[in-house]
Structure 1
Amino acid sequence: MPLHIRAQPGDVAPIALLAGDPGRAVLIAGALDAARCYNENRGLLGFTGAHHGRPVSVQTTGMGGPSAAIVVEELADLGVETLIRLGTCGAIAPSVAVLDFVIASAAVGADGTTRHYSGKADFTPAADAAVTRALVAAGAALSGAVHVGYLVTQDAFYRQPASWGQWRRRGVLAVEMEAAAIFTVALGRGLRAGAACLVVDRVNDRASWASDDAIASATAGLIALGLGAVERLG
Structure 2
Amino acid sequence: MATPHNAAKKGEIAQTVLMPGDPLRARFIAETYLTDVTCYNTVRNMLGFTGLYRGKRVSVQGSGMGIPSIGIYSYELFEFYDVRSIIRIGTAGGLGKNVGLRDLVAGMGACTNSNFAAQYRLPGTFAPIASWRLLKKADEAAKALGVPLKVGNLLSSDTFYSDDPEHEKWIQMGVLAVEMEAAGLYCNAAHAGREALCLCSISDVPATGESLSAQERQESFHDMMKVALELAD
TM-score range, shorter chain: over 0.9
Deviates more, 1:52-61 or 1:173-182: 52-61
Sort the Cα spacing of 1:164 and 1:228 in 2 relative to 1 into closer, same or farther, 3 A: same
Residue of structure 2 in register with 1:133 after alignment: 136
| DSSP 3-state at the match of 1:173 | strand
Q: Is the 8 A contact 1:104 1:194 kept in 2?
A: yes
Sort the Cα spacing of 1:111 and 1:229 in 2 relative to 1 into closer, same or farther, 3 A: same
Sort the Cα spacing of 1:64 and 1:118 in 2 relative to 1 into closer, same or farther, 3 A: farther
Sort the Cα spacing of 1:200 and 1:80 in 2 relative to 1 into closer, same or farther, 3 A: same
Amino acid at match of 1:166: K
Residue of structure 1 in register with 2:176 after alignment: 173
1:59 to 58, 61, 68: 61
Does 1:6 find its partner at 2:44? Answer: no
Residue of structure 2 in register with 1:15 after alignment: 16
Amino acid at match of 1:194: L
The separation in 1 between residues aligned to 2:213 and 2:163, in whole angstroms, is 21
Residue of structure 2 in register with 1:46 after alignment: 48
Sort the Cα spacing of 1:90 and 1:118 in 2 relative to 1 into closer, same or farther, 3 A: farther
Structure 1's unaligned 5+ residue stretches are: none
Deviates more, 1:149-158 or 1:137-146: 137-146
State the shift of 1:79 in Å.
Answer: 1.4
The separation in 2 between residues aligned to 1:122 and 1:157, in whole angstroms, is 23
> CA offsets per residue over residues 114-159 of structure 1, 9 Å max, x none?
4445668874211000000011111114455320011010111112
**Percent identity among equivalent residues?**
33
The separation in 2 between residues aligned to 1:82 and 1:26, in whole angstroms, is 19
Residue of structure 1 in register with 2:36 after alignment: 34
Does 1:148 find its partner at 2:146? Answer: no
Sort the Cα spacing of 1:228 and 1:160 in 2 relative to 1 into closer, same or farther, 3 A: farther
> CA offsets per residue over residues 133-189 of structure 1, 9 Å max, x none?
011111114455320011010111112634411111111000000000000011001
The separation in 2 between residues aligned to 1:162 and 1:118, in whole angstroms, is 29
Amino acid at match of 2:93: G
Sort the Cα spacing of 1:118 and 1:92 in 2 relative to 1 into closer, same or farther, 3 A: farther
Sort the Cα spacing of 1:115 and 1:208 in 2 relative to 1 into closer, same or farther, 3 A: farther
Sort the Cα spacing of 1:146 and 1:204 in 2 relative to 1 into closer, same or farther, 3 A: same
Sort the Cα spacing of 1:204 and 1:118 in 2 relative to 1 into closer, same or farther, 3 A: farther
Q: Is the 8 A contact 2:95 2:207 kept in 1?
A: no
Q: Is the 8 A contact 1:117 1:184 kept in 2?
A: no
Residue of structure 2 in register with 1:73 after alignment: 75
Query: Structure 1-normalised TM-score?
Result: 0.92
The separation in 2 between residues aligned to 1:189 and 1:10, in whole angstroms, is 19
Q: Is the 8 A contact 2:48 2:59 kept in 1?
A: yes
The separation in 1 between residues aligned to 2:142 and 2:217, in whole angstroms, is 17
> CA offsets per residue over residues 72-121 of structure 1, 9 Å max, x none?
11112111111111111000101000110001111112223344456688
Deviates more, 1:120-129 or 1:186-195: 120-129
Structure 2's unaligned 5+ residue stretches are: none
Amino acid at match of 2:8: A
